[in-house]
Chains A and B, each alone.
Chain A
């Protein structure tokens, strides 16, 4: 236990300030206000891998490391779509995942934000449209925010999530 505490003290607090939601500057406090105004509480995200190569998943997981401190911003990944405000989808939607993706979306409550993350989710990427893929996420679900990148970096993902919150706030 002593060594565990010592290691925690030695590392200190590596968390960094959140990036601005591209393209305009927003401070973290403003972000919290946006989340609260839009949703009245924390933002919850359900992720669905609809055929990705796993690179986007690795970068989305990285958002939970101490540097990005996602939960400190009031944003959390949740296990059930019924608890989710936003759906983050990666991959060129495969025919085998299309039904599961649609069901996940249907199970979500409003505001049902949809974030298409990565080149594949936006336009099938290197795989292209073929017999086994339905195509980009927008063919199946109404996409609110697209985050380009192969894969998008954690910072780009965070910027995209923040942009989705702002877009949702602007709609009201």
Chain B
């Protein structure tokens, strides 16, 4: 995106993908967002930061992505009475980000919807956790129950409240349905139940502790988060980790993708009443996790990716074992896929359920796996392949039906693609050309104070933004889960479906709670 016609001075952005940053006035902020939208772009993240200690008031950060990479727009508010422009008319996904920014920092957009999102408590106390002078360490009384849901009136309309405690072993969130008969008229999501002060915690972390915390923002995507964090740190340092570390990271990320897709394919089958699918896929998933534990000492691969490289190398015997395993799993996935495809009952539940049309996906900014099932052909591994993906030639899986079936189809394609990539990666790890140390040291001073890591996790793109002092003190760390952009789309995708299909539809998106609640 060329910012010069807007009168903006762009500087290069230290990031894992091509990027630029620029200071923007409120008018320029809106124009830049509109320009990004017109260039086939989307909103990635939005957050605020307290810069009063540097006499700069409050900062608002907006990250947009278009065909040329990331643009970080930096806007300054002199104090908390100033407002910044509402960008929801351009990017609807900004609604909850703007509300969360107020909850945590007390700076508001010129928007109509001022309801709390993550942390209602600030609205009463006027004390905001992410301000540097906020010192409260005692738990605050929860005001989560006071939320104003939008209600639908009319003959025969009734309301169904579900959560935060659900029937299965899943994360907590609340869903409020307005229903006529069996049909859903309206769904409103209420999240924030797992808000545990992650962003505040980052400000007291060293760079190494930060990796541990980053790897625990969203347990199913620990490799993606740890890599995005490491990428941000390495971008700030101006270093590239050794070649073997890069291949090992790709190995871990594809194993994470494979394990999650296998788990979801089973669980979605189960929600369609096909227990056979759950039994088969949960067994395959367990095989992957057990191999992880044998090779890396952790089933979910937590703390394997660290700033500067990876924590440990992989013994050749494990590389060989993982090579064979990839082929074995691919064969079984193909076989079970045929069974799914041939099963009339399963197909009947999948087809047409929870449809997010390509138009809706584009308007709402649906990202990642769910986006690709609705025709949004974006995958960082293909668009901005960081090493070693530049050598892997990843085949992007895209569907346009936008229903449960399409999200299942994308998962099947991506699971098989990950298995294929794992075959290539394990071969590369045996090649003498990839023999190197697995970690490099970081310099004692940073070369950039703002850096962004951006990695295609199994659910979608995971972003980590770091603002640092020269001596590596973390001023602000903002993790952004793809779920921020995707949760609002479910509210649209369920309209007109029957209530009983909601678990199936929700599982087919499988969005994060902890990753978004922070």
Contacts and interface: CB of A to CB of B under 8 A. Distances in A.
Interface of A: 3-4, 7-8, 11, 14, 47-62, 64-67, 77, 79-80, 91-92, 94-100, 104, 125-135, 150-151, 153
**Among B129, B139, B195, B201, residue most surrounded by chain A Cβ atoms (within 10 Å):** B139
B124 interface: no
A3 B140 contact: no
Contact of A126 (B129, B139, B212, B283): B212
Interface string B331-372: 000011011001100000000000000000000000000000
A7 B339 contact: yes
Nearest to A5: B276
A19 to B, nearest CB: 14
Contact of B193 (A53, A96, A127): A96
Interface in B454-504: none
Contacts of A7: 276, 280, 335-336, 339
Nearest to A101: B165
Contact of B119 (A49, A104, A132, A150): A132
A94 B286 contact: no
Contact of B280 (A11, A52, A127, A134): A11
B229 to A, nearest CB: 13
Contacts of B192: 96
B12 interface: no
A133 B286 contact: no
B302 A150 contact: yes
Interface in B185-220: 192-198, 200-201, 209, 212-213, 216-220
B194 A57 contact: no
Interface residues of B, number: 62
A151 B142 CA distance: 27
Contacts of B209: 126
A54 B168 CA distance: 13
Interface stretch (B169-177, B373-381, B430-438): B169-177
Contacts of A60: 169
A56 B300 CA distance: 10
B293 interface: yes
Nearest to A68: B286
A59 B293 CA distance: 13
B201 A130 contact: yes
B245 to A, nearest CB: 23
Given A57-B169, A65-B279, A100-B172, 19 more contacts: A3-B342, A7-B336, A49-B169, A52-B219, A52-B514, A53-B219, A55-B222, A55-B302, A58-B300, A62-B282, A91-B194, A94-B194, A94-B195, A95-B141, A95-B142, A99-B145, A100-B165, A129-B137, A131-B140
B257 interface: no
12 contacts: A49-B169, A51-B514, A52-B194, A53-B514, A54-B219, A59-B299, A66-B283, A130-B201, A131-B197, A133-B139, A150-B302, A151-B219
**Among A4, A52, A94, A100, residue most surrounded by chain B Cβ atoms (within 10 Å):** A94
